A and B are shown apart, each in its own frame.
Chain A
Amino acid sequence: SQQGEEDPQALSIQEGENATMNCSYKTSINNLQWYRQNSGRGLVHLILIRSNEREKHSGRLRVTLDTSKKSSSLLITASRAADTASYFCATHPPGGGNKLTFGTGTQLKVEL
């Protein structure tokens, strides 16, 4: 079963604009991770945010986490055509070992 639901399901923007994707989840978590999947490829890890963190940055990526609302957002600033991909959040529950539960994903298209 899927723990996370991403919103929107699809997003189309122009190069240079910012892209924001949201993830909502159902149970408590130890941490939340974001992954990217280019068409026809496997997933690639982007960033991890722990449950006691509220915001984290990595290059053009900014992730926020609100555990009270059980939600996270991924912001990609100054988007590029190469950012076109699907983005997934993945949650790690307490006592879950190294098991992650992935969300439904947001398809991002960045147009020139």
Chain B
Amino acid sequence: DAGVIQSPRHEVTEMGQEVTLRCKPISGHDYLFWYRQTMMRGLELLIYFNNNVPIDDSGMPEDRFSAKMPNASFSTLKIQPSEPRDSAVYFCASLPGTGVMGTDTQYFGPGTRLTVL
């Protein structure tokens, strides 16, 4: 298994531009999570999906952020328009969802390092 795949690995863009981050979860995993990691705020959960349906988006910072999961093998996180304070590493993680709630392991992708100039 290739694990969780994220693209691009690095993204540099200018303020005001639209940014789209992509994630392919591990096949058969029912849950998908988007996190943001910065030095100041640590690792923050932005949103998570169960069977392609958003369950909790309370961590999404602003309306500039949106996430979709059109099918079980693909998710996007979009920032429009981007701002310098959005610079961070964005991680996608997936989880099988077959075990007792809360006991499954989350499998993280390698992350996308976003720099907004």
Contacts and interface: CB of A to CB of B under 8 A. Distances in A.
A72 B44 CA distance: 21
B102 A98 contact: yes
B101 A97 contact: yes
A45 B55 contact: no
Nearest to B95: A98
B contact residues, range:
20 to 34
A45 B101 contact: no
Contacts of B45: 99-102
Interface of B: 4, 31, 35, 42-43, 45, 48, 50, 55-56, 91, 93, 95, 97, 101-111
Contacts of B109: 42
Interface in A77-112: 88, 92, 96-105
Q: Is the interface of A mostly helix, strand, loop or mixed?
A: loop
A42 B4 contact: yes
A48 B107 CA distance: 14
A42 B93 contact: yes
A31 B102 contact: yes
Contacts, number: 61
Contact of A98 (B101, B107, B110, B111): B101
A10 interface: no
Contact of A45 (B31, B105, B111): B105
A45 B42 contact: no
Q: Which 3 A-B pairs have the closest CB atoms?
A: A42-B108, A92-B102, A45-B105
B82 to A, nearest CB: 22
Given A30-B102, A98-B104, A100-B45, A42 B91 contact: yes
Contacts of B102: 30-31, 92, 96-98, 100
Interface in A6-46: 30-31, 33, 40-45
B42 A98 contact: no
Contact of A97 (B4, B42, B55, B91): B55
A57 to B, nearest CB: 17
6 contacts: A30-B102, A43-B43, A44-B108, A96-B102, A97-B55, A100-B45
